Structures are given as C-alpha cells and as structure tokens.
Chain A
Amino acid sequence: MSREREQGMTVIVKTITRLTVGLILLYGIYILSHGHVSPGGGFAGGVIIALSFVHLMLAYGKEVALGKLPKAATFFFESMGALLFLGIALFGFTSGYFFLNFISKGEPFRLFSAGIIPLCNIAISLKVGAGLFAIFIALVLLRFESENKE
C-alpha cells in the first residue's frame, strides 16, 4: 500500500499535474513580483510557489518532489529568506535608519518601483515558500514513520 503511494497517483492525475505545475509556479512568481503594485506579495506568492511543489509531491510521490527540491535546500532557503530580509533592513543603516527604504522609489505602479519593497517580497516568499514546504515534508515523513511502525 505504501509502495503504491510512493509511486504517486493514477496517470490522469499525473498528466494534469505535468501540464499545470509549471503554470502554478509561474503564477506564484507573478503574484510575488507584483506584490507592490497589486494585491498579493511575498507571503501569498510564497504559498503558491510552495503549493506547486506540494502538488508535485501529491501526484508523483515524495521521491520526485524531493528530487526537484531536496530537504537540505529547503532548509537553506528558509533561513536564507530570513537573513536576506534582515540584511535588507540592515542596509537601511547606510542612510541612517533600520528598515529605511534607501533605494529610489521610482514611478508608482511600475514593476520596477517602490524601492526595497519588491526585494523584501522576494525574501519573504523564500522564507514562506520554503517554510511551508518544509512543514509539509515534516508531516509526510512523520506519517510514513508511523506507518512503518505498524
């Protein structure tokens, strides 16, 4: 039973997943990169990016998903996201204040505007996306262990 699950679901689910997973990932990146001009942002984008990997894991099993994004990389990205965010905040000290928006703000409603906000969004999405995926991995691994014991 658990062997079957490791190989994933039926061919219908696999095909649909193959077609949609890239789009979900791209949509996540879109939401994240337009966070400062439209609803969304780092958190929402990060969640959608994590969901694309979760989707992969549900359809193809954990080997495939962990092959695309290994556990070590997930943990690294998670901490890196937090450090990047802190680093951006610290760079504000170059102009005198913690969390100062030190890059020029540009023209409102353009993609390249709002100073450090898009950079912060990228850091947040790394943290949230990797964090959510790590939580999902933890739950999945726990479940396999409890099944093995039985």
Chain B
Amino acid sequence: MTLQSNIIPVFVILPLSGAFLTSILGRKLRWIPDILGAVTTFLAFIFSLLAIRVVNISGTLIYSVGAWRPPVGIAMVMDGLTVFMLVTVNLVACAIAVYAINYMEKFTSKWKFYTLFLLVLAGMNGVVVTGDIFNLFVFLEIASVASYALVAFGTERHELEAAFKYAVMSTVGSLFVLLGIVLIYAYTSTLNMADIASVILAKGPKNIVSMISVLFIMGFGLKAALVPFHAWLPDAHPSAPAPISAMLSGVLIKSLGIYALCRIFYNVLGMTSSVSSLLMFMGALSMVVGVFLAIGQWDFKRLLAYHSISQIGYVVLGIGLGTPLGILGGLFHLFNHSIFKSLLFLNSGAVEYATGTRDLQRMGGLASRMPVTGTTSFFASMSIAGIPPFNGFWSKLIIILAAVQAGRLGYAFWAVLASLLTLASFMKVMKYAFLGTLKEQWNRIKEVPIFMKLSMSALAIVCLLGGALLLSGIKDSFLDKASDVLSEGTRYSALIAKGDIFEK
C-alpha cells in the first residue's frame, strides 16, 4: 500500500457523500443542491486528472478495502484503462451538473435530481475502479437503479412507461450478469478479477467458460444497448430530462456496458477468436441498424438515441478487432462519443428549454435566435459525422484503418457507409432545427441562461480540440496507457499479483 493509492476510494466516497448530504440539506436550503452537485463533480474531475499523473508515475495501483488483502478482501485497482474511464465519466458529469443548475429549475424537486444523479455517478465510478467482480455487480446495480428513477423523473405517462420498460430489460441484463458471476465463483472459487484470470489460465479452457462468456455478452450487451439488445434505449433515453439523457447516452452505457465488457473479456476471461468475431459482428450490426433507424426520426432526442446505438457499434467494432490500433481507436471513439453525444443531448435540451418542442419539423432557423446553441450543436454534429478537424473524425479514421489493417475490409466498408449516413442524418438536424428561415412563432425566444451556455461551450471546445489527444506526448500518458491494459490481456493478473507482493 502506497500513499498514492489512497486516491482510489475517493472516486466513490465523493459522489456518495455528496448524494446523501444533498438529500438531507437540500430539502430545506434550496441553493445547496446546485452547489453540492457542481462542486462534487468538479472535485471528482480534478481528482481524475490527478490520477493520470499518479498512474504515470507509479504504475498500476491497488487498494485493499478495510486492509483485507486480495484475493480475500475487496480490491480496488487503478490502471490506465480505469483512469481513462474516470476522466471520461467525471468530465461529462461535471459539464452536466453545471448545465442542470439552470435546466432543472422547471422541476419542483431539484434535490431529488441531484441525489440520484450523484448516486449514478458513484455507481459508475465504482464499476470503473473496482477489482472485484461481485463488487462490480453491486455498483452496476447502484447506477442502474438510480437511473430507472431518473428516466421516470418527469412522471408523465410516457416517461413512466419508458422507465418501466428500461427497468425490466435492464434487470434481465443484471440477472444474466449475476448468473455469470455465480458460475465463475462455482468454477474458480474466487471473486477477485485478477485471481479469477490466473485460476482460469491454470485450469485451461473449458465449456463452462464459453457459457459464462455468453451470459456476460448478453448481460453487458443489454446494458450497452448493442443490437439485438437495444430495444429499451430509444424509449428510455429521450424520455428522461436532457441532462439525464446526456448522462445515460454519454457515459452510463459505456461504463456499465462497454467498460465492463472489455475489462472482463480482455483481462479476466481472456479474448478468444470466437468472442472477438462475435463482438465485431454485433458492433457492425449496431452501427448499421442504429443509423438506419435514426435517419427517419423526427423527434430530436429519439434521433440522437438511435445514433447512440450506432456509435456504440463503432466502439465495439474497434475493441472487438483486438489489434492494438483497433483498441486504441475504439477507446478513443468511446471518449469522443461521450463528449459529442452528451453535448448533442444538452443542445436538444436547450432547444426544448427555449421552444418547448422536440419535433424537428416544427423548428427552423433557431441558430439566429440561439447563437451559442446553434454553434455548439454544429460542432457536435460535425464531430459525430466524422468531419475533420473535429474529434470524431480521428477516432473513426483509426477504427477504419485498423479494420483495413486487420484485413476486415467488409467491416471497414460498413463503417464508412454508417458514417456517411450519420452525416446525412445530422445534415437533416442542422437544416430543420438551426438553419433555414426562422418561423413566425419563434420570434420571441431567447438564448438559454448562462450555466447552460457555459457547459455547452466547454464541451464544444473539447470536441474541437479532442484530436489533440493523439499528439505523441499526450497520447503516451493517456490513450496508450488505456489501450495497453487491454492489449496485455490476461497479463493483468500478473501485474496485480506483482503489485500485491510489492505491497507486503
């Protein structure tokens, strides 16, 4: 145990204490929730930036909770991938918390929103930092259960329906995960992820491992909304208030779905060629199906929700390729997608805040009345469509290059096609919502308040400069560290074991 590793539990402690303090104090003092929400998420973001440096200096860190040594006790692990996810999650959460200060004014109980929001954040950070597979399930459920309530936050008829559908589907996913964990425990007699990896390596491949793989693909696939497990997402994500849609689409499906999927398949069970080709196939399928479903939508947020499915497909395709370049592209696209998709949802929230509608056909020319929203939304649209120099271009380029390099020309073709269709559908958004002539009825609308503008502009700047993460100095310490963890595969367990000996 080194001094630096004390930073690891902070990511769970901060949002949890923020959540419950908000629920005690925020009921009476109306200014408390705003302050606590913004300050906790900002602190968590600062700590995650600090963690980049800490991991760069001292390598993989392990924290044994309650001084119980792994594999008996619960371990928290911080390596390159963890830090990468922490930065993504907390950056988006911080922007959303600031945005919600103004946006959530129209709802009566802001403290409930912030309590649930911080609980989701605690769950996501927990999933990312934990090194214990059952603990992962617990944090997964914390984040999921809080997000059911957030989807139903408006308590209108369709919101409750969407929340119920989401709750049922997502619980089924969690049960698959739980069953997988039960079988793993029966087979290996341990719950520590590094220990599981070494036991499976020693026992050799058995049929039970394939069974567990199938269960995890179904469970985490449901959480990540891969086609054919995507049915809940187009209902759940548009129904929630805009900051929550941004949270759900931006980071929740990634930290609960994609992160857990790749951590378990690469580092714990070990990647096999069949799992890899299955992931690539599902990725390509989500990519194409998602974009075809999206292009015909007229509801702004529903269109964005279908695009989430499509973009998640890119991430899974990249990670499923299994080559270092593919993994790098997949993870980079994960980061970029978090930024531009949350920005797009925040834009749709801003439009709804000003005009009260989500129907693209009723909008038009809004950019002249809402310059900040129009500009940031242009940035995000170009980013998601993969136009240089925005960040989405670079990550899509890497994924397509990696597919060509690995000899998967078919997948590369589908990736290009989906990108073109994405461009077409965001041309439609820009044309109908922001460009063109201003309709009579929107003559009086005003630009959104200051905090909403602030957070949208911050995310737009990250969209514009995101490509800079590929510059050699920054890439070495951030993206490469993350993709190395996955490329090393089951050597993960050896690293953790080494850390453990070092600790004594």
Identify the A interface with B (CB < 8 A): 75-76, 78-80, 82-83, 86, 89-90, 92-93, 96-101
Docked-complex contact B20 and A82, CB < 8 angstroms: yes
Residues from chain A with Cβ under 8 Å of B66 in the complex: 92, 97-101
Query: Which residues, 91 to 141 on B, are CB-close (under 8 Å) to A?
Result: none
A149 to chain B, nearest CB (A): 14
Residues from chain B with Cβ under 8 Å of A76 in the complex: 24
Secondary structure call for the A interface = helix
Residues from chain A with Cβ under 8 Å of B17 in the complex: 83, 86
A99-B65 CB under 8 A given contacts A86-B16, A86-B17: yes
A79-B65 CB under 8 A given contacts A86-B13, A90-B13, A98-B9: no
Docked-complex contact B16 and A97, CB < 8 angstroms: no
| B64 contacts A by Cβ under 8 Å | yes
| B209 contacts A by Cβ under 8 Å | no
A83-B9 CB under 8 A given contacts A97-B67, A98-B65: no
Identify the B interface with A (CB < 8 A): 1, 6, 9, 13, 16-17, 20-21, 23-24, 27, 63-67
Docked-complex contact B13 and A98, CB < 8 angstroms: yes
Residues from chain B with Cβ under 8 Å of A82 in the complex: 16, 20
Docked-complex contact B67 and A83, CB < 8 angstroms: no
Of the A-B pairs whose beta carbons lie under 8 Å apart in the complex, a sample of 12, sorted by A's number, is: A76-B24, A79-B24, A82-B20, A83-B24, A86-B17, A86-B20, A89-B13, A92-B66, A97-B66, A98-B63, A99-B65, A99-B66
Docked-complex contact A83 and B21, CB < 8 angstroms: yes
Docked-complex contact A100 and B27, CB < 8 angstroms: no
- A79-B20, A82-B16, A97-B65 provided; 13 other pairs, C-beta below 8 A? A78-B23, A79-B23, A79-B24, A83-B21, A86-B16, A86-B17, A86-B20, A96-B1, A97-B1, A97-B64, A98-B9, A98-B13, A99-B66
Residue of A75, A89, A93 ringed by the most chain B CB atoms within 10 A: A89
Give the complex CA separation of A93 and B9 in angstroms: 11
A100-B20 CB under 8 A given contacts A75-B27, A86-B13, A90-B13: no
Give the complex CA separation of A97 and B3 in angstroms: 11
Residues from chain B with Cβ under 8 Å of A86 in the complex: 13, 16-17, 20
Residues from chain B with Cβ under 8 Å of A80 in the complex: 24
Give the complex CA separation of A101 and B21 in angstroms: 24
Give the complex CA separation of A96 and B65 in angstroms: 10
Residues from chain B with Cβ under 8 Å of A78 in the complex: 23
Q: Nearest residue in B to A81 (C-beta to C-beta)?
A: B20
Q: Nearest residue in A to B76 (C-beta to C-beta)?
A: A98
A87 to chain B, nearest CB (A): 9
Docked-complex contact B65 and A75, CB < 8 angstroms: no
B229 to chain A, nearest CB (A): 30
Question: Which 8 A-B pairs give the minimum distances between C-beta atoms?
Answer: A99-B66, A98-B9, A97-B67, A79-B23, A79-B24, A82-B20, A83-B20, A79-B20
Residues from chain A with Cβ under 8 Å of B65 in the complex: 97-99
Give the complex CA separation of A90 and B23 in angstroms: 19
A76 to chain B, nearest CB (A): 7
Give the complex CA separation of A82 and B63 in angstroms: 23
Residues from chain A with Cβ under 8 Å of B9 in the complex: 98
Q: Nearest residue in B to A97 (C-beta to C-beta)?
A: B67
Q: Nearest residue in A to B12 (C-beta to C-beta)?
A: A98
Docked-complex contact B67 and A96, CB < 8 angstroms: yes
Q: Nearest residue in B to A95 (C-beta to C-beta)?
A: B67
Residue of A78, A79, A93 ringed by the most chain B CB atoms within 10 A: A79
Q: Nearest residue in A to B66 (C-beta to C-beta)?
A: A99
Give the complex CA separation of A92 and B1 in angstroms: 15
Residues from chain B with Cβ under 8 Å of A89 in the complex: 13
B81 to chain A, nearest CB (A): 22
A116 to chain B, nearest CB (A): 9
Give the complex CA separation of A83 and B25 in angstroms: 12
A123 to chain B, nearest CB (A): 11
Give the complex CA separation of A86 and B24 in angstroms: 14
Give the complex CA separation of A82 and B17 in angstroms: 9
A128 to chain B, nearest CB (A): 15
Q: Nearest residue in B to A99 (C-beta to C-beta)?
A: B66
Give the complex CA separation of A98 and B16 in angstroms: 14
A115 to chain B, nearest CB (A): 11
Give the complex CA separation of A89 and B16 in angstroms: 12
Residues from chain A with Cβ under 8 Å of B13 in the complex: 86, 89-90, 98
